[in-house]
Amino acid sequence: MKGLSRFFTIGLVTAWYSSNIGVLLLNKYLLSNYGFKYPIFLTMCHMTACSLLSYVAISWMKMVPLQTIRSRVQFMKIAALSLVFCGSVVSGNVSLRYLPVSFNQAIGATTPFFTAVFAYIMTVKREAWITYVTLIPVVTGVIIASGVLGNAKGAVAVVVSILIFKNPVSVTGMLGYTLTVIGVVLYSEAKKRSK
């Protein structure tokens, strides 16, 4: 039973990586190479597919229990989160018309930095000093890589993007990208240890 559970988890992670990278590259192809001009329509398709597949996973496959909204406050928080997420996806899709996938992924790699900053601003909760120190290579790597390159998922997306879209890659860009990945790994480890 343990082996089956492990394979199921590996399958889910593989499906997530594949679908995430596939959506990113397909959006880039449609918006840049194919001349499709409707990034918000792509976002609508993305959100609709997520909703339908979530419903199937919850209601039919019973992967997680169905949860109900308990209050108006909870509904407002969920609605706000949904709007922010939708705005994020729309912005990402719009940016794919103008930016290489590698740069898009490098910007996405700054998520730990902005998460720490906004967590402090919103909750006035400070992290351990080591957490902030580990963000230095993340930000430095993105700054260096801005002249092409994200996180572990981004690594695959960048390589595939380079192969498909022939994005130019410099030694400096690869150095920055490598530093960013190291920073993300260090940040993740620091967060685990501080809990």
pTM summary value: 0.54
3 SS3 class: helix
pLDDT the model gives residue 147: 40
* CA 167 to centroid of chain Cα atoms: 20
pLDDT per residue as tens digits for the range 65-117: 888 889 999 999 999 998 988 888 888 888 877 777 766 766 776 777 777 77
pLDDT of residue 80: 93
Cα–Cα nearest to 153, from 10, 11, 47, 22: 22
Could you read off the pLDDT of 140-186 as tens digits, one per residue? Answer: 666 555 446 334 555 556 655 655 556 666 667 667 767 776 776 67
